[in-house]
Amino acid sequence: MLVAGEWHDMMDDPEDWTPLVILPEARDRTARELLAARALDTKCMHLAVTEARRCVSEDNSAKPRVGAVVAQDAAVIAQAFRGELKPGEHAEYTLLEGKCRDAVLSGSTVYTTLEPCTTRNEPKKPCVERLIARKVGRVVIGMLDPDERVRGRGVLALRKANIRVDLFPPDLMTELEELNREFIDEKEQSDGGLRKESKATIGEISDEAQHAVGKNELVLSAKHLLAIVRRLPDGSEASIQGADSVLRGAVLPSDDDLTHLRRTAARVGASEGEITLASVASVGWMTKHVREVQATSREMGFDYGRISWVQWSVHWMEAERSLTALTAL
């Protein structure tokens, strides 16, 4: 069902109206859990960026500005930024050892704005090793380390330890790159010689890491959209008869959901990319027609004549098939 006030907003400007997270009375727990998880991800990623902005270099040099957040059981446990408790201490170290030293973090999700480090001078321990030791279940990274000796190695080390790795969305990644532009510029200049000597080897590591992270993002997005598609009528006679209540309160993907899925396709193989584009086309077609139906007035009744149920069935089956294939990657 649409929440109070949604009808007025929709009718005032139906072209620009995008529904809020509308949970229908239908009992799709998977869809609800996915939507709740996405909301928590968004909250924690923005919180991590806010923490990163609080960083101050300990020696006026170009140091990374890093924020980190840990969440568990749908709640934020703690947050930290680089140098918060002691100058130069990494955000992950401050989070894990300074603020959550006695907490049980197994299975938790850590959001960090910079790829966790893989090397430190003795006796310091790399942040990747600390994350693995605490048995976190997932790490969401804002940007890869611009140091070519490190870039991608943190991702691969986490994945090797069976820790799921995801990336911040492109808009937040761009914001973090701008926030750390001086640090990035310094690393790119100092790495100039290194790139000439070992470009092939480092490129292979970086490409492998990017592909792995891209595939994870693709699977997550596909699962989210598949749960939505399976709540919509499938074009059969039985589902069309129940279309009134389903389409009135349908949970629809936002334009950002489809844009993100399309962009993610650029970081995976050609075959996965083709499947992704087919998914976007089919889901986009259905979304457009559901919004057209929802935009008809309550007095006029919902205009289901706008939907060709034969075409709808074709698009539904294509979306279900392609999204299922993506979730199995």
Residues assigned a catalytic role:
92
Give the other-Cβ count within 10 Å of 316's Cβ: 23
Q: Are 110 and 68 in contact (CB under 8 A)?
A: yes
d(CA 299, CA 113): 50
- Angle in degrees, 0-180, between the axes of helices 181-190 and 192-229, rounded to the nearest 10: 130
The span from the CA of 219 to the CA of 206, in Å, is: 20
Report CA-CA distances (Å) from 153 to 27, 144, 168, 257, 286.
42, 9, 18, 29, 41
Structure tokens at 35: 């939507």
Q: Count other Cβ atoms within 10 Å, centred on residue 196.
A: 8
Q: Per the structure block, which two tokens stand in for 312?
A: 């709808």
Backbone angles phi, psi at 68, to 5 degrees: -145, 145
